[in-house]
Amino acid sequence: MSDQADMIWWKTGVIYQIYPRSFQDSDGDGVGDLRGIKRRLPYLRELGVDAIWLSPIFVSPMADFGYDISDYTAIDPLFGTMADFDALLEAAHQHGLKLLLDLVPNHTSEQHPWFVESRSSRDNPKRDWYLWRDPAPDGGPPNNWLSEFGGSAWHYDDTTGQYYYHAFLAQQPDLNWRHPQVRAAIYEVMRFWLRKGVDGFRVDVLWHLIKDSQFRDNPPNPDYQPGRPPHEQLQPLYSADQPEVQQVVAELRAVVDEFPDRLLIGEIYLPLERLVAYYGIDLSGAHLPFNFALLSAPWHARALAELIDRYEAVLPQGAWPNWVLGNHDRPRVASRVGAAQARVAAMLLLTLRGTPTIYYGDEIGLRQLPIAPDQVRDPFEKNVPGVGVGRDGCRTPMQWDASPFAGFSTVEPWLPLADDYAQDNVVNLSAADTSLLSLYRALIALRKRQPALQLGDYQPLAAQGDVLLFRRVGGGSSLLVALNLGAAPVAVLSEQFSLDGEILLSTFMDRAGERVGATLDLRGDEGVIIGPVPDPIV
Ligand code: GLC
Ligand code: MG
């Protein structure tokens, strides 16, 4: 490991995702905003993260809460002004934090001037900027493709008698990425922000950008499980992950590379073997194709060990790994694995090889909040109700303190607050030495001090019953990580490998300095990091 090139910030650092609507409101409208984020930078610095990624903050009708953009180079007034953005960027940099924006190139809002033009007539110069097709002979949609948010992915437009394609909402028409002008336009958007000094992008649904040029029907999915969202009835063979997308990914990367030290992350939900193609030929693609495997992994030692091995095995030569524990689209980790295991999950995330991404609020154990039907805001849940796809529950306001509305706002927030906020908030958890928040801080700090955790190799040791064991080796040091994924205490025996060392950190935060020899006793739901016994001071 570790020549100078490896010391780059996005390899050694920790990324923190902010969902701006829910982080901090500053103007009393119940919705988070840029000034609010700026106010909370000291918190992020104390937490120890290195970069923040903001979900979209651009002008939007908010049909999909900012993922439907009508102006890529302006800030939505809900979040503030361009001056607020500039101030945030500068302050973030002063705090030593990188700032990443969300680039949403697959689709615009239907209200984007490009689409308004495109739909106005068949011979408008921007007609082919989007995907327009004639109706099928029976008048129905041109093919069987399904929207991820329910129903056909084709919307009939009266004005011109054709259908347009939308992978998500009808209010989110897909751009035609085979069109050179579309590419050039989005690359200019990127340059606009890169020139301002943003440190890179997380690219929304990167694997969706190119669709089959013949618009062939998708085949049925033989593995479809009733109760799953309806779009899973088809395999997206022709509507996503097309070979030609790799050229686009390389072009996006080339734009980012026009500026020094910038980062390109791709949002990609694909099996690991397909995911790693997005590193590109000779690593000319995304620096970090987001690895979402932990979001749906069964929480068992053997399953996790296999998953980590599989990911490490398929990584291209020189590709840098990454791990994500939560995001604004998936149920909260504390609800997926339970509060006790959320601590073990934190230790796993922050000791695996690769850049970790923390979703705001996971560090204080925010849970998936059940949302009453009349409080649903998420369009996915509205279109496909009752199958558990709702995303409001993982987007509830950050819980800062015990004051009304949790210090998030001075008025009723846009989404309900969990009723535990009077206890589970940043102020209380900061004051408690062994809280989940304190554990996150300790893990991030330890990762910074230990080159083996930042850049070291990953060496699997064993999955013994409920215990996952691995080593991180590098920078002249070797650390052992032992995670008990079960609720029962266990004794780990060092038959095949040495446990010798000293506990650097337990998830319970009460065993630092304890010597370990022939056996390691773990409590239920406990993880520990063991380092070498320090040399005696002479
Ligand atoms: C991505 C975003 C999600 C959004 C969708 C459509 O998956 O993470 O929130 O709804 O793209 O833009
Ligand atoms: Mg506000």
- From the CA of 68, give the closest atom in ligand 1: 12
Q: Would the pLDDT of 2 be above 90? A: no
CA distance 508 to 226: 41
- From the CA of 67, give the closest atom in ligand 1: 12
**Of 100, 98, 26, 101, which Cα lies nearest the Cα of 69?**
101
CA distance 157 to 81: 34
Give Cα separations from 41 to 89, 93, 194, 442, 450 (angstroms).
Answer: 11, 10, 21, 18, 25
- From the CA of 380, give the closest atom in ligand 1: 10
Q: Would the pLDDT of 5 be above 80? A: no
From the CA of 240, the nearest ligand is 1
**Same domain assignment for residues 241 and 190:** yes
Does any domain span residue 323? yes
What CATH code is carried by the domain that includes residue 143?
A: 3.90.400.10
CA distance 249 to 474: 32
Active site residue 424: no
Give the residue, out of 67, 72, 231, 394, with the most ligand 1 atoms within 8 A of its beta carbon, to mutate for a pocket test.
Answer: 67
Ligand 2 centroid from CA 447, angstroms: 34
pTM over 0.95: yes
Ligand 1 centroid from CA 381, angstroms: 13
Q: What is the pLDDT of residues 354-396, one digit of tens each?
A: 999 999 999 999 999 999 999 999 999 999 999 999 999 999 9
Ligand 2 centroid from CA 116, angstroms: 29
**Same domain assignment for residues 12 and 126:** no
Ligand 2 centroid from CA 457, angstroms: 44
Per-residue pLDDT at 20 = 99
Model confidence band, residue 533 (pLDDT cutoffs 50, 70, 90):
confident
**Same domain assignment for residues 479 and 493:** yes
Give the residue, out of 205, 380, 381, 395, with the most ligand 1 atoms within 8 A of its beta carbon, to mutate for a pocket test.
Answer: 205
Does any domain span residue 174? no
10 lines ligand 1 (CB under 6 A): no
Residue with the smallest CA separation from ligand 1 atom 5 is: 67
Q: CB under 8 Å to 178, separation ≥6 — which residues?
A: 210, 213, 244
- Residues of the chain with pLDDT > 70: what percent? 99
**H helix intervals, 76-210:** 82-94, 113-120, 180-196
Q: What is the mean pLDDT of residues 272-282?
A: 98
168 lines ligand 1 (CB under 6 A): yes
- Residue 200 identity (one-letter amino acid): G
Token representation of residue 410: 């001075």
Per-residue pLDDT at 534 = 82
Does any domain span residue 67? yes
**Same domain assignment for residues 367 and 479:** no
- From the CA of 168, give the closest atom in ligand 1: 6
Q: What is the pLDDT of residues 139-182, one digit of tens each?
A: 999 999 999 999 999 999 999 999 999 999 999 999 999 999 99
205 lines ligand 1 (CB under 6 A): yes
Token representation of residue 60: 């939007």
Q: Would the pLDDT of 4 be above 80? A: no
Which domain, by its residues, includes 119? 113-165
Locus of tokens 């080593």: 471
Domain count for the chain = 3
**Same domain assignment for residues 385 and 495:** no
Ligand 2 centroid from CA 70, angstroms: 20
- Residues of the chain with pLDDT > 90: what percent? 96
What CATH code is carried by the domain that includes residue 300?
A: 3.20.20.80
Does any domain span residue 129? yes
Q: What is the pLDDT of residues 431-477, one digit of tens each?
A: 999 999 999 999 999 999 999 999 999 999 999 999 999 999 998 99
**Same domain assignment for residues 87 and 142:** no
Q: Would the pLDDT of 50 be above 70? A: yes
241 lines ligand 1 (CB under 6 A): no
Ligand 2 centroid from CA 439, angstroms: 30
Give Cα separations from 176 to 138, 141, 180, 182, 184 (angstroms).
Answer: 25, 18, 9, 7, 12
What is the chain's mean pLDDT, rounded?
97
Per-residue pLDDT at 424 = 97
Does any domain span residue 449? no
Residue with the smallest CA separation from ligand 1 atom 4 is: 67
Q: CB under 8 Å to 188, separation ≥6 — which residues?
A: none
Per-residue pLDDT at 538 = 61
231 three-class SS: helix
Residue at a domain's end among 383, 417, 444? 444
**Same domain assignment for residues 153 and 269:** no
Ligand 2 centroid from CA 357, angstroms: 25
Residue with the smallest CA separation from ligand 1 atom 12 is: 67
257 three-class SS: helix
Model confidence band, residue 3 (pLDDT cutoffs 50, 70, 90):
low
Token representation of residue 232: 């899973």
Residue with the smallest CA separation from ligand 1 atom 7 is: 205
**Same domain assignment for residues 360 and 381:** yes
- Residue 197 identity (one-letter amino acid): G
Give Cα separations from 445 to 46, 139, 354, 365, 404 (angstroms).
Answer: 10, 61, 16, 19, 32
Ligand 1 centroid from CA 357, angstroms: 17
**Same domain assignment for residues 194 and 299:** yes
443 three-class SS: helix
Give the residue, out of 72, 168, 174, 292, with the most ligand 1 atoms within 8 A of its beta carbon, to mutate for a pocket test.
Answer: 168
What CATH code is carried by the domain that includes residue 525?
A: 2.60.40.1180
Q: Would the pLDDT of 509 be above 90? A: yes
- From the CA of 167, give the closest atom in ligand 1: 6
- 497, burial (CB in 10 Å: exposed 0-12, middle 13-18, buried 19+): middle
67 lines ligand 1 (CB under 6 A): yes
User: How many CA atoms within 13 Å lie on the side-chain side of 339?
Assistant: 8
204 lines ligand 1 (CB under 6 A): yes
198 lines ligand 1 (CB under 6 A): no
The number of residues making up the chain comes to 538
**Same domain assignment for residues 346 and 220:** yes
Active site residue 204: yes
- Residue 332 identity (one-letter amino acid): R
Catalytic residue, candidates 204, 267, 424, 526: 204
332 three-class SS: coil
Give the residue, out of 17, 57, 64, 171, with the most ligand 1 atoms within 8 A of its beta carbon, to mutate for a pocket test.
Answer: 64
**Of 173, 79, 58, which Cα lies nearest the Cα of 118?**
173
Per-residue pLDDT at 494 = 82
φ, ψ for residue 315 (rounded to 5)? Answer: -60, 130
Q: What is the pLDDT of residues 82-112, one digit of tens each?
A: 999 999 999 999 999 999 999 999 999 999 9
Q: What is the pLDDT of residues 123-135, one digit of tens each?
A: 999 999 999 999 9
CA distance 19 to 267: 15
Interhelix angle 245-257/180-196, rounded to 10 degrees, is 30
Ligand 2 centroid from CA 15, angstroms: 24
- From the CA of 391, give the closest atom in ligand 1: 9
Alpha carbon dihedral 312, 317, 319, 325, in 10-degree steps, equals -10
Token representation of residue 136: 């099928």
167 lines ligand 1 (CB under 6 A): no
Q: CB under 8 Å to 45, separation ≥6 — which residues?
A: 95, 96, 97
**Same domain assignment for residues 371 and 490:** no
Q: What is the mean pLDDT of residues 198-211?
A: 98
Position with higher pLDDT, 282 vs 533: 282
Strands of 154-157's sheet in order across = 132-133, 162-165, 154-157
64 lines ligand 1 (CB under 6 A): yes
Does any domain span residue 171? no
**Same domain assignment for residues 220 and 237:** yes
490 three-class SS: strand
